[in-house]
């Protein structure tokens, strides 16, 4: 007797999204269902480490794909872990519900330390409704008796049905009742082609019935004999020379579920004290959860081609969490746990090797700079073709139109540059390499394309420091009064507008022998670039206006740590700076906005002695109001807000009247 159940509220919305928007390529449904079947077999293999009886009488794991043209059905069958009725209701009736994650959450103590995150049975299942108007799942969990099987049926509307059945075989069979417009999937060659494209790398055999020509019927007829239709050889174990760029790109999309091709990749076999194979990809676009530092890297771990875990965070540092790929170790034990991964010397060597490889890949991209776009936009750094090797045009032929330029490193940096900066504080051993990969805007270029090496090569004679300014955005940085003297002297200043800049730069004190100096910290000192006459004029102004400075300090005692004359201002009357080593006002605001505690640092108010407003302060009748307005305007100029906005407006209005 069947029982009716309602889908979780979000499932109906999900099904509409899946069938109309999520999968623009309908073939993807077969990749998802075959991948889920493979995951179910991986889970059985893991659970059977402690209970070999789960294999029952079928120790050979496999996936079968079959179709019935008359019934218009397509069935994907596996002999993996399977589901009980309760699991079918929970996993197939809830949006993005991972059976593996629930399985992990039930473990405790030492079991949990040894458990691996294997596969995910979630949104991919619903992709079947792209081509089917009804889906039937028959399943039995390994270890349960045959009479505890379950049948799950749904038309993908608002509900599904379940009923207890007797099922001799463990595992699951998913039957898609195809819509009329999906009849193309009732073709063996079509299905075999999709499996070859998306699932060839799966290490389990994927079987289909053989098909032979029947002369009497004048048509091809399916036989009772099954044959393997995938290579069942892990792509990363094959020689690079035997793999095409399209195969690399297809494999990336299969493991990452990304609809875009990767930007580049690196495929290497590492030998020595630790042996492993690495296939690492740089995505073209950042994921939506890029800034979630709790998200684990997208690198899959295999041990001698046996899948171990999906998100092996110990194999890459957090600032490279956007890297996708596969690591296959020849040395780690098959039952390696996450705890052991953190402590293993072999894993440390693999992590360091992966980090070096990714940085080398980025360095190659940066060196290529602006280059002609590859035809398929998937050129690997390992297999890039030199333009000089391209065949010449036939004599007399019209010149080909100029190809669009594709600066892949610029594309990478726009997506992941801010995360790469985290490496300055996390990876001291590679800090110099990371610093060379960073790019910034500057007072001479709005494009985020200036490297520290570029800046240093353009430094003026006698210039000792690399000057930079952090701000909330590029417009605020360009209009900052702290830049006025540098513009007057023609000194380039790097403009940094990422939220992570202030923190990251605190770990990088110099580059190639040149100190990094914030123009908004400490007293301005341009050394040989500043005229002696200018310095003497500033000292004279400070002495001349000493009473004024003392009076301002008293009025602004609650706001400013100090008030002093400066040479850094040309057109503005005042600006705010902080002492060397202090938190900048921008960083303090950022921490507060994130709900974190920030030390209260009073800024220093610097005045331009040549400005008319400063010169009028001495005999001003409303001295206190003018002092507060001057301070608040300097705060506004750097993107801050007055402590008392209403008081600021009242003072300005009083002066206007």
CA atoms within 13 A on the CB side of 143: 11
Tell me: the pLDDT tens digits for 395-426? 444 444 444 456 899 999 999 999 999 999 99
Please check whether residue 548 is in contact with residue 541, taking contact to mean a CB–CB distance below 8 angstroms: no
Count CB neighbours of 507 within 10 A. Answer: 17
As a whole number of angstroms, the distance between CA 73 and CA 186 comes to 8
| No. of helices (H) and no. of strands (E), the chain | 23, 25
Tell me: the pLDDT tens digits for 82-96? 999 999 988 887 654
Calculate the CA 346 to chain-centre distance.
Answer: 26
Same domain, 583 and 509: yes
- Cα angle: 597, vertex 602, 608; to 5 degrees: 145
Higher pLDDT, 55 or 304: 55
Same domain, 223 and 267: no
The token pair at 653 is 């209005």
Query: What is the phi/psi pair of residue 549, to 5°?
Result: -65, -40
Please check whether residue 316 is in contact with residue 297, taking contact to mean a CB–CB distance below 8 angstroms: yes
As a whole number of angstroms, the distance between CA 118 and CA 42 comes to 7
Mean pLDDT of 47-64: 91
3-state secondary structure (DSSP) of residue 250: helix
Tell me: the pLDDT tens digits for 489-511? 899 999 999 988 988 988 999 99
Q: Indicate whether 433 belongs to any domain.
A: no
Tell me: the pLDDT tens digits for 227-273? 999 877 778 988 999 899 998 998 888 788 787 899 999 999 999 88
Mean pLDDT of 67-89: 95
pLDDT at 605 over 60: yes
From 372, 401, 423, the end of a domain falls on 372
pLDDT of res. 24: 54
Q: Indicate whether 387 belongs to any domain.
A: no
Mean pLDDT of 541-563: 89
Q: Which of 478, 468, 480, 485 is nearest to 575 (CA)?
A: 480
Residue indicated by tokens 């009242």: 650
Query: What are the Cα distances from residue 52, in Å, to 56, 113, 202, 449?
Result: 8, 20, 23, 58
The token pair at 133 is 């108007």
As a whole number of angstroms, the distance between CA 91 and CA 122 comes to 7
Same domain, 594 and 452: yes
pLDDT at 32 over 90: no
600 falls in which pLDDT band (50, 70, 90)?
confident
Q: Indicate whether 542 belongs to any domain.
A: yes
pLDDT at 528 over 70: no
pLDDT of res. 97: 43
Please check whether residue 639 is in contact with residue 476, taking contact to mean a CB–CB distance below 8 angstroms: yes
Calculate the CA 438 to chain-centre distance.
Answer: 17
Calculate the CA 130 to chain-centre distance.
Answer: 28
CA atoms within 13 A on the CB side of 425: 12
pLDDT of res. 390: 36
288-297, 499-508, 542-551, 638-647: the lowest-pLDDT one: 288-297
Tell me: the pLDDT tens digits for 94-124? 654 433 344 334 434 443 333 222 223 345 7
Please check whether residue 127 is in contact with residue 32, taking contact to mean a CB–CB distance below 8 angstroms: yes
pLDDT of res. 306: 67
- CATH number of the domain that 15 lies in? 3.30.565.10
Q: Which of 402, 401, 403 is nearest to 373 (CA)?
A: 403
Calculate the CA 280 to chain-centre distance.
Answer: 14
Tell me: the pLDDT tens digits for 339-382? 777 778 888 999 999 999 999 999 999 998 634 333 333 334 44
Same domain, 57 and 73: yes
Q: Indicate whether 544 belongs to any domain.
A: yes
pLDDT at 141 over 90: yes
Please check whether residue 548 is in contact with residue 617, taking contact to mean a CB–CB distance below 8 angstroms: yes
Same domain, 225 and 267: no
From 233, 258, 283, the end of a domain falls on 233
213 falls in which pLDDT band (50, 70, 90)?
confident
Same domain, 255 and 158: no
As a whole number of angstroms, the distance between CA 408 and CA 405 comes to 9
Q: Indicate whether 393 belongs to any domain.
A: no
The token pair at 429 is 């051993």
Please check whether residue 140 is in contact with residue 151, taking contact to mean a CB–CB distance below 8 angstroms: no
Same domain, 355 and 245: yes
Q: Indicate whether 559 belongs to any domain.
A: yes
Tell me: the pLDDT tens digits for 162-195? 999 999 999 999 999 999 999 999 999 999 988 8
From 203, 233, 263, the end of a domain falls on 233
As a dihedral over the C-alpha atoms of residue 99, residue 100, residue 106, residue 110, rounded to 10 degrees, the angle is 170
% of the chain with per-residue pLDDT over 90: 40
Q: Indicate whether 495 belongs to any domain.
A: yes
Same domain, 244 and 299: yes
Same domain, 262 and 162: no
DSSP letter (8 states) at residue 394: P
As a dihedral over the C-alpha atoms of residue 95, residue 96, residue 97, residue 101, rounded to 10 degrees, the angle is -160
Query: What is the phi/psi pair of residue 371, to 5°?
Result: -140, 170
135: part of which helix (H) or strand (E)?
A: strand 132-140
Domains held by the chain: number: 3
Which 3-state string (H, E, C) describes 333-367?
Answer: CCCCCHHHHHHCHHHHHHHHHHHHHHHHHHHHHHH
Q: Indicate the burial class of 251 (C-beta count within 10 angstroms; 0-12, 13-18, 19 or more).
A: buried
Higher pLDDT, 324 or 377: 324
Residue indicated by tokens 């079968």: 64
pLDDT of res. 374: 39
Same domain, 43 and 97: yes
Q: Global pTM? A: 0.66
pLDDT of res. 186: 95
Same domain, 530 and 582: yes
pLDDT at 537 over 60: yes
Domain hosting residue 622, numbered range: 439-656
Sign of the dihedral defined by the CA atoms of residues 42, 44, 46, 49, in that order = negative
pLDDT of res. 439: 95
Mean pLDDT of the chain: 82
Q: Which of 498, 482, 489 is nearest to 440 (CA)?
A: 498
- CATH number of the domain that 449 lies in? 3.40.50.11260
Which 3-state string (H, E, C) describes 466-479?
Answer: EEEEECCCHHHHHC
pLDDT at 645 over 50: yes
Query: What is the phi/psi pair of residue 309, to 5°?
Result: -155, 155
Please check whether residue 131 is in contact with residue 75, taking contact to mean a CB–CB distance below 8 angstroms: no
pLDDT of res. 162: 93
Same domain, 134 and 228: yes
Mean pLDDT of 547-575: 90
pLDDT of res. 437: 96
* Rounded CA Rg of the chain: 33
């Amino acid at each position: 007797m069947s029982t009716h159940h309602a889908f979780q509220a979000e499932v109906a919305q999900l099904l509409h999204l899946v069938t109309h928007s999520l999968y623009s390529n309908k073939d993807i449904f077969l990749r998802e269902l075959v991948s889920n079947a493979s995951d179910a077999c991986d889970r059985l293999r893991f659970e059977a480490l402690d209970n070999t009886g789960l294999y029952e009488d079928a120790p050979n794991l496999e996936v079968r794909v079959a179709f019935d043209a008359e019934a218009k059905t397509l069935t994907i069958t596996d002999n993996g872990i399977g589901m009980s009725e309760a699991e079918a209701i929970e996993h197939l009736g809830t949006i993005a519900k991972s059976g593996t994650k629930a399985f992990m959450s039930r473990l405790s103590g030492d079991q949990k330390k040894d458990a691996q995150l294997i596969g995910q049975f979630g949104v991919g299942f619903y992709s079947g409704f792209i081509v089917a108007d009804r889906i039937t799942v028959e399943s039995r969990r390994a270890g349960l008796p045959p009479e505890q099987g379950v049948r799950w049926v749904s038309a993908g509307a608002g509900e599904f049905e379940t009923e207890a059945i007797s099922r001799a075989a463990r595992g699951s069979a998913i039957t898609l009742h195809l819509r009329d417009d999906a009849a193309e999937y009732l073709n063996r060659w079509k299905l075999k082609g999709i499996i070859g494209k998306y699932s060839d790398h799966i290490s389990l055999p994927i079987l289909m019935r053989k098909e032979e020509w029947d002369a009497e019927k004048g048509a091809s007829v399916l036989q009772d004999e099954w044959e393997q239709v995938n290579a069942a050889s892990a792509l990363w174990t094959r020689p690079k020379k035997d793999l095409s760029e399209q195969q690399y790109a297809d494999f990336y999309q299969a493991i990452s579920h990304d609809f875009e091709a990767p930007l580049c990749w690196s495929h290497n076999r590492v030998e020595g004290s630790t042996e492993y194979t690495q296939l690492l990809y740089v995505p073209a676009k950042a994921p939506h959860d890029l800034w979630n530092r709790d998200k684990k890297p997208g690198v899959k771990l295999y041990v001698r081609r046996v899948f171990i875990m999906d998100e092996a965070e110990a194999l890459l540092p957090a600032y490279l969490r956007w890297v996708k790929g596969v690591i296959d170790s020849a040395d780690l034990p098959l039952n390696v746990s996450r705890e052991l991964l953190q402590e293993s010397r072999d894993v440390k060597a693999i992590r360091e090797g992966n980090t070096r490889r990714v940085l080398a890949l980025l360095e190659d991209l940066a060196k290529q700079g602006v280059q002609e776009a590859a035809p398929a936009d998937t050129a690997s750094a390992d297999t890039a073709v030199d333009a000089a090797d391209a065949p010449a045009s036939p004599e007399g032929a019209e010149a080909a139109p100029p190809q669009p330029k594709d600066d892949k490193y610029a594309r990478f940096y726009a997506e992941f540059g801010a995360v790469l900066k985290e490496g300055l504080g996390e990876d001291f051993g590679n800090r110099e390499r990371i610093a060379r990969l960073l790019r910034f805007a500057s007072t001479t270029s709005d494009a985020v394309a200036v490297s520290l090496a570029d800046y240093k090569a353009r430094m003026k004679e006698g210039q000792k420091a690399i000057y930079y300014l952090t701000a909330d955005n590029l417009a605020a940085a360009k209009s900052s009064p702290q830049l006025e003297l540098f513009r007057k002297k023609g000194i380039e200043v790097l403009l940094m507008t990422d939220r992570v800049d202030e923190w990251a730069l605190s770990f990088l004190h110099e580059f190639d022998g040149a100190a990094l100096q914030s123009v908004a910290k400490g007293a301005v000192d341009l050394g040989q670039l500043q005229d002696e006459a200018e310095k003497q004029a500033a000292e004279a102004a400070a002495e001349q206006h000493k009473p004024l400075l003392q009076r301002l300090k008293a009025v602004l005692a609650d706001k400013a740590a100090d008030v002093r004359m400066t040479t850094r201002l040309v057109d503005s009357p005042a600006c705010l700076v902080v002492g060397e080593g202090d938190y900048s006002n921008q960083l303090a605001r950022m921490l507060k906005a994130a709900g974190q505690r920030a030390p209260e640092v009073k800024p220093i108010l610097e005045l331009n002695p040549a400005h008319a407003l400063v010169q009028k302060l001495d005999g001003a009748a409303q001295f206190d109001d003018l002092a507060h307005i001057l301070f608040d305007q300097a705060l506004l100029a750097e993107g801050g807000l007055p402590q008392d906005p209403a008081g600021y407006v009242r003072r300005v209005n009083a002066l206007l009247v």
